[in-house]
Structure 1
Amino acid sequence: MARFSFKRKRLSFSEMTNRVPAAVDPLDFLGAGRTGSRDAFAQIHGAVHGALSEVERSISSLFERLRPDGNISDRMVLEANAELRTELARANTFADVKRDEMLISMSSKLESLFIQRLVVAPEEEPPVRRWTALGDRAIRRDLPMVSEPNHSNLDVSPNDRKKRLNKWKGETDEYLETVCLNHVGEVINGLLEELNEYSASWTDLIVDLRRLSSSGGRLFQEVTDAESWSFDSDDPTVKNLLTGEQAQDIAMRILSRFQLGNQDLVDIADMVHESLAGKPVYGTNRVDALELQELLARATAQKIRSTVSIDT
């Protein structure tokens, strides 16, 4: 019977350099588009990978100085080991910074998406399911060992030195990609936590908004009560100039001319976000449903005033 052996493929930072995308905004998949989990993972991976590119260049330069056909001294090897340890530490620091930066930006983007969806699709489920499969790829890996060769290990024939340098470079390459993927996993775990809070808050908020709308309110009465739109006056020149039904008809005509585009939604979300002054729209300490409803109404009205031209 034939016997097969499956050798684990070594992670390679350098191999991924030309495979991962270099997105300007690695979190743009959190917008109103239809980006799935596969592309989302690639964008997060590309962002963390890009943060380590400077370290990769420095390490490549280090190994160039130890080329197989050149002279080598004990001091050169000691300095190379020390420099490599510094670069590996820098890789962890750079990855930490990028992770934290993305987690902060992620929260802001999800808040904007939350507000936009309230305007255009409050009856729909939050569009977060397509990203839940990311959790399967958030795997924590142990950092591999990276050798610390001494002078005697490298003061050998050019051919042997080349083999040993390639082994050392391979270990370093795997280390960098492991650091990269571990931080990608941390970003994904942070995203999944945010999405859980997003979904729970969305469900609670929609229930609250439906309750508020069914019981009526000032805005509800102003829109639905024709008497609130009456322009009756004792002055015969303006008496019954505009009835409630006519005013409502004009209001509907204005709204029908106002077609919400993507940028309009972003602008409305930004206005609401600015008015909240740091108070979140989802999560445990989120804004009250009534306050959010009022802020949304004001922001939408302001956008209409700045967008729709009224013929006079």
Structure 2
Amino acid sequence: MKLLRYGQPGKERPALLDKDGGIRDLSEFIDDVSGPALSPERIATLKALDPASLPLVDGTPRIGPCVAQVGKFICIGLNYADHAAETGADIPKEPIIFNKWTSAIVGPNDNVEIPRNSKKTDWEVELGVVIGKGGRYIDEANAMEHVVGYCVINDVSEREFQIERGGTWDKGKGCDTFGPMGPWLVTKDEIADPHQLNLWLEVDGKRYQNGSTRTMIFQIPKLVSYLSQFMSLQPGDVISTGTPPGVGLGIKPEPVFLRAGQRMRLGIEGLGEQEQLTVDA
């Protein structure tokens, strides 16, 4: 099942995507695609619906972020062996954790703003993992029971803010619009193996990232279990699991960074595509 949200910012409505690509409104059954609707029991109820019985949405509405009211937007750094190599970093011994502020979240095709005084805004296609069942101190063997599904995330990053301005990575990661999410939340039953997915990103038609989740250092069960040792995970929390090689920072001989007026296009096998125009903040 592919869950989504459509409509203008702040006024999105819940929906699912039918087999023909039509948007079917779910407002009669759930308030939003958010924590309370993502429990195993609620997902089972939604799966039992006949999509053809739901109202078909006319036209081509804006698609909003696929998860609403995200409590925590947790990110994992340097989680692909080939990406760590391109940055010259050592393979982490434990997952590197940082945060994107929830105010960074936008729809998959909304504009991405280049922050004021930015010199090094960069891109990162990532697999998003959405929590459906909360918990603490989760065993790795049971971790996938807590995952409801997956989505595409562009972990947009300002490298000077992140690396050169002191402190933690967070201030270069959480700028407004730095978290395009969607187009849909794909329930985990539709993805046979999330560690065998191709993912890619282009800027102005040039392919920069072309990787696979096969090269993840810490896989999803490990990440869910690990994070739950330090915080409770709650329904609707989103984990962005790292990026493959090809980020602008790693390009040789000179890094390449974004400027206003460019188009990013990115996607993950089975999870859909995004496209954003960059604009000045």
TM range, normalised to the smaller chain?
Answer: under 0.3
Which structure dedicates a bigger proportion of its chain to helix? 1
> Which of structures 1 and 2 has the bigger CA Rg?
1
| TM-score, with length taken from structure 2 | 0.23
